[in-house]
Homo-oligomer: A and B are copies of this chain.
Amino acid sequence: MTKIPVVQQILSANDAIADENRAALDAAGALGVNVMASPGAGKTSLILATAARLPAGLRLAVIEGDVAGRIDADAMAAAGIPVVQINTGGGCHLDAPMVRSALPHLLPDGVDMLMIENVGNLICPAGFALGTHVNLVVASTPEGHDKPYKYPGMFAAADVVTLNKADVAAVFDFDFDAFQRGVRMVNPAAPIFVISCRTGEGVNAWVDWLTAQHAVMPRPPKHS
């Protein structure tokens, strides 16, 4: 009887800060995207492929979440993308306070889209709101088509799914129909984009969808 109130307190504190983050993003006119996936599904590759195809003038910034290291942040910086690295030091997910601490390093310089690469983990990140507008789940064909059945919480939390490494699907006997049925069991509406960051297949359609999400954001008040 003593544990449950503590858990509720932690979650509601995270949610309150997530709401603050969302307000900060709205005020900046920046679409926030929480990028979640298994380790190695291709989160970084998708962000880089997206950056290369965003309409001119749409300014992207990135927050990199990792247990350790700055490999992906270095890749972003090399591509000229403003980036902040968050190291969780063993923690299995980003939370709203971590994101809050990163926002002042990015938003003041003018950001239209903020992609937050969460820690590679198909379970825990789904339980912690960051204040983003879009929850993106990146699946990949080498992981197998059974992932939505085994990790339903993550796919239920998705606003959109990209299925990466489509170019090698045949190597892994990947069953697209079974994957889609699995997603639909827990998520009736999220668009599913079949893509390959390596070949570029399908990436334009994903970027068009993402750009449209930014276009329909409420406009921040003009400062004159």
Contacts and interface: CB of A to CB of B under 8 A. Distances in A.
A150 B38 contact: no
Contacts of A121: 92, 121-124
Interface string A32-61: 000000111000000000000000000000
A153 interface: yes
Contact of A124 (B124, B140, B146, B152): B124
Interface string A89-122: 0101000000000000000000000000001111
Given A92-B92, A124-B92, A40 B147 contact: yes
A176 interface: no
A151 B68 CA distance: 7
Contacts of A69: 149-150
A171 interface: yes
B168 A67 contact: no
Of the listed residues A144, A150, A168, the one surrounded by the most CB atoms of chain B closer than 10 A to its CB is A150
Contact of A123 (B67, B146, B165, B171): B67
Nearest to A92: B123
Given A38-B40, A121-B92, A122-B39, A68 B150 contact: yes
Given A71-B149, A142-B165, A150-B69, A120 B38 contact: yes
Interface of A: 38-40, 66-69, 71, 90, 92, 119-124, 140, 142-144, 146-147, 149-153, 165, 168, 171
